[in-house]
Amino acid sequence: MKAYYRRALCHLSILKYQKAIADFKTALELDPKNAVVKGQLDATQKLVRRIEFEKAIEVEEDQSPVEKVKETINDGGCELPNDYDGPKLPPPRDSDRARESKYGISREFIDEMTAWFMKGKTLAKRVVWEIILGVWSVCVQEESMTGVLLEEGMTCDVIGDIHGQYYDLLNLLKLTGTLTISPSGTDLTSAQARHRRSTVFYSMVILWTEDHGPLKWSSLSSPGNGSFLIESF
């Protein structure tokens, strides 16, 4: 019951209201007298009705921030400064041209950018905008909650929220292996090539098996040797 209830809260936090309602109902079927679950179910159903009502009466919204940035770029309002000597994005790939971008991204650029940041320096605004637009174009097609399939013999490194700590991120990637770029998504990290590892950054994880359904929520602890242990509670 707790697993369904907590997964419902996850769905609720990422605005997947119908999935949250379905899990709240399942949890309530398993524990019909649970007042907390019933309260959450009622509140979520009321929220959905309110959102549907607001959609019915809403007027056309202003231009989205993404469209505003693209328009500024297309109008020539954010070119690279002539004196900028930092990392520069490579020419576009087909996927970049599809989103009307003049730039792509590469392993070399990421390495240069990492070294540049280590010196305490910053990127030009145009470079930052291109990176953000590229990430947005990928993330907007992805689900907020995704599954990671672990094949037989593969090790999974689960890493908690690092709260934007850049040097912690670099240190963790040294432990798990630096990431590589692959259009097909088939390349492994340097550590994966040796040990078949998968790295997952997360704030909340629920373990799920096909045979037994949800298991338990998990937390992380470090034994002090650079690895992380998953502990159930």
Whose tokens are 């500024």? That residue is 72
Predicted confidence at residue 123, as pLDDT, reads 92
SS3 state of residue 215: strand
Under 8 Å between Cβ of 177 and 133: no
CA contacts within 13 A on the Cβ side of 133: 27
Predicted confidence at residue 41, as pLDDT, reads 92
Q: How far is CA 48 from the centre of its chain?
A: 25
Predicted confidence at residue 61, as pLDDT, reads 59
Residue 228 token pair: 């992380």
Predicted confidence at residue 187, as pLDDT, reads 42
Under 8 Å between Cβ of 205 and 156: no
Under 8 Å between Cβ of 28 and 41: yes
Digit-by-digit pLDDT tens for the chain (233 residues) are 888 999 999 998 888 889 999 999 999 999 999 999 999 999 999 988 888 887 777 655 567 888 888 888 888 888 888 899 999 999 988 888 887 788 888 888 988 998 999 898 999 999 999 998 888 887 888 777 667 676 776 666 677 777 778 888 888 777 777 654 444 334 444 444 444 445 555 444 444 444 444 433 333 333 443 333 333 33
Q: 43 to each of 36, 38, 50, 150, how far by Cα in Å?
A: 11, 9, 11, 36
* Per-residue buried b or exposed e for 216-226, using 16+ beta carbons within 10 Å of the residue's own CB: ebbeeeeeeee
CATH superfamily of this structure's domain 2-57: Tetratricopeptide repeat domain (1.25.40.10)
Predicted confidence at residue 142, as pLDDT, reads 77
Q: 197 to each of 67, 120, 151, 154, 223, how far by Cα in Å?
A: 38, 31, 10, 6, 19
Under 8 Å between Cβ of 24 and 8: yes
Residues of the chain with CATH 1.25.40.10: 2-57
According to DSSP H, which parts of 119-161 are helical? 125-139
* Per-residue buried b or exposed e for 48-83, using 16+ beta carbons within 10 Å of the residue's own CB: eeeeeeeeeeeeeeeeeeeeebbeebeeeebeeeee
Predicted confidence at residue 30, as pLDDT, reads 92
Predicted confidence at residue 64, as pLDDT, reads 81
Predicted confidence at residue 54, as pLDDT, reads 79
Predicted confidence at residue 230, as pLDDT, reads 38
